Chain A
Amino acid sequence: MYLKSLKKSSFKVTLKGIPASSGIGEGPPLIVKNVRKPLINPSKKNFVLITPYATPMLTLLMLRASAIITEKGGKLSHAAIVARELGIPCVVGVEHCIQKLKEVDWILVDGNEGTVYGFKDVSR
């Protein structure tokens, strides 16, 4: 139902990847291009983490994310293992997702199908 209302928003991008952890998750995007950047005091919560791949530098962010999307990796990649452990949806191997999702302000992640929906101008 929520997806229906989101579909009314002005901009939408749909991306496909490998479903790595099941469930549906959503939130504003948090793009971390530089996986080496120290992020030790994340204040935000319940965002969708978008990153090339997961490193231990992103540990504290991953714990606060509502879903994870990575450009690289397979079902046994680090992000996938973390997401399954935490019970949050994760789609991996979404090519060029950082570039394609940089203009959206809301993301819905379908970890069952491996689909990522990006929305702009969402009224909630």
Chain B
Amino acid sequence: MEMRVQYMASKMYLDKFPSAMSKHFLRRSKDIGYDVWPSPIFHPSEADPYVAKYLLPRLYTDVQTLKAKGYNEERIAKLFLNPSRIARLTYLYHAFSFSNLPANEALWLAEFLLRLISYYREDVFLESGKNLIFKTEQIKNLVGYHKIISFEEEKDFRELQESIAKLNILIANFLELLYFCHQHIGLEIHGPYNLQNNNIVVIRDAYDIKPPFWDFCKGFRYNRICLLTIYKNTKISLDYAGRIFSRSSLKNKLVGVQLLEPKIDSNIKANIYLLIHDLENVIKEGILHVNKLDKKQLMKKYGEMFFYAIKPIRDELQVKWEPPEGFYKDIENGVFDEYTREKMKSFRLSSLPLKERRKHLEKIWDVKKQLTIKNH
């Protein structure tokens, strides 16, 4: 709370944003965004101006309406369901100038969204490598309440480790199929929470796995998959993008697990095998479905994903969440195609020395500068 007050006084979240983003993009790859789905069909930044133009003004107006109705910041923050969903909206900041919001409103919104994250976690940019959404007591209660399957007591623990690792991959990849490189719009990975005896807890909560803009997942029988895993003697960190990092293999460090959602069968192993089977099938359907779509159709889906991310706010205001007609028309007409072709050259950074790459990335994510240049 104290940290938030300090930040509010100085607008520090937005000041810190460019360096935080550059740091995590530098760790990702040399050329940003060229190795993430929806590439190779299109680079995410090709579609972002189309989204930013319509989504950011909508979000600004919606937030103002909620505030006028008496919603405080915390209540608005909680509408987003999880912090990584808000963080993913900030990936549109490189295209903020397309929103056509006046600079003061744009800057207010940019800072406001970052501040909303602080209602979930104190460390907004995960500089500590920890995404701590739950309090220590909550974690202790969770571990105490649910019967954790301890691998030390299992004869076939290797098989279980293998299955859990597989399940984790299937969850992450399924969410990537649904939300492209922004899978953390529907998946919150949080932790690591320290337990006794060098044990740590990581929770993978795939809480929004049937977004209505995809048909292929409609028949999927689960609404949520939430897995609690316990690792021993290893260091795990998470970054602002929601990515998990460890020096050693995670599979071999797994010592305990509990499937918090769904509860299909009382036998956790049976549940896990069934989930793996069902996820493999829905991913197969998804791959076939996605492959039938051309570039423009996929760009529209990519945009719908962002509009869907603020659906809870739209629901609160009882208005439809779908993108406006103009969004689809703009993509059809390719109104930003020329601009993005030019702009994307600035994402080709691999030939530059590290220092230059950092500088370049900071510039891309500097909303203040972006809007100041535009207003001059």
Chain A residues within an 8 Å CB radius of B247: 22
Chain B, 222-255, CB within 8 A of any chain A CB: 239, 241, 243-252
Q: Say how far A109's CB is from chain B's closest CB, in angstroms.
A: 14
Q: How large is the interface on B (under 10, 10 to 19, 20 to 34, 35 or more residues)?
A: 35 or more
Check if B287 sits within 8 Å of A62, measured CB to CB: no
Whether B284 lies near A86 (C-beta < 8 A) is no
Most buried by B among A53, A56, A57: A56
Given A38-B287, A60-B283, A22 contacting B243 (CB threshold 8 A): no
Question: Does A46 count as interface, using CB distance less than 8 angstroms?
Answer: no
Once the chains bind, are B283 and A59 in contact (CB under 8 Å)?
yes
Q: How far is the CA of A41 from the CA of B173 in the complex (A)?
A: 16
One digit per residue, 1 when the CB lies within 8 angstroms of any chain B CB and 0 when it does not, for chain A 24-64 equals 00000000000110111100000000001101110110110
Residues of chain B contacted by A60 (CB below 8 angstroms): 280, 283-284
By the criterion CB–CB under 8 Å, are A73 and B35 in contact? Answer: yes
Contact (Cβ within 8 A) B249 A75? no
Interface SS majority for chain B: helix
- Write the chain B residue with the least CB distance to A59: B173
A16 to B166 CA separation, bound complex (whole angstroms) = 28
Please give the distance in Å from B162's CB to the nearest CB on chain A.
8
A81 within 8 A of B: yes
Interface size class of A (residues with CB under 8 A): 20 to 34
Measured between C-beta atoms, what is the minimum distance from A24 to chain B in Å?
12
Q: Out of B27, B170, B251, B280, which one reaches A87, CB within 8 Å?
A: B251
Q: A72 contacts B169, CB within 8 Å?
A: no
Q: Contact: A75 with B251, CB < 8 Å?
A: no
Known: A23-B249, A56-B176. A78 touches B36 (CB 8 A): yes
Say yes or no for B261: interface residue by CB 8 A criterion. no
For A81, list chain B residues within 8 Å (CB).
Answer: 172, 243-245
B41, B166, B246, B284: the one within 8 Å of A63 (CB)? B166
- The verdict on B65 contacting chain A, using a C-beta distance below 8 Å, is no
Chain B: residues with CB nearer than 8 A to chain A? Answer: 24, 26-31, 34-37, 39-41, 165-166, 168-170, 172-174, 176-177, 239, 241, 243-252, 280, 283-284, 286-288, 290-291
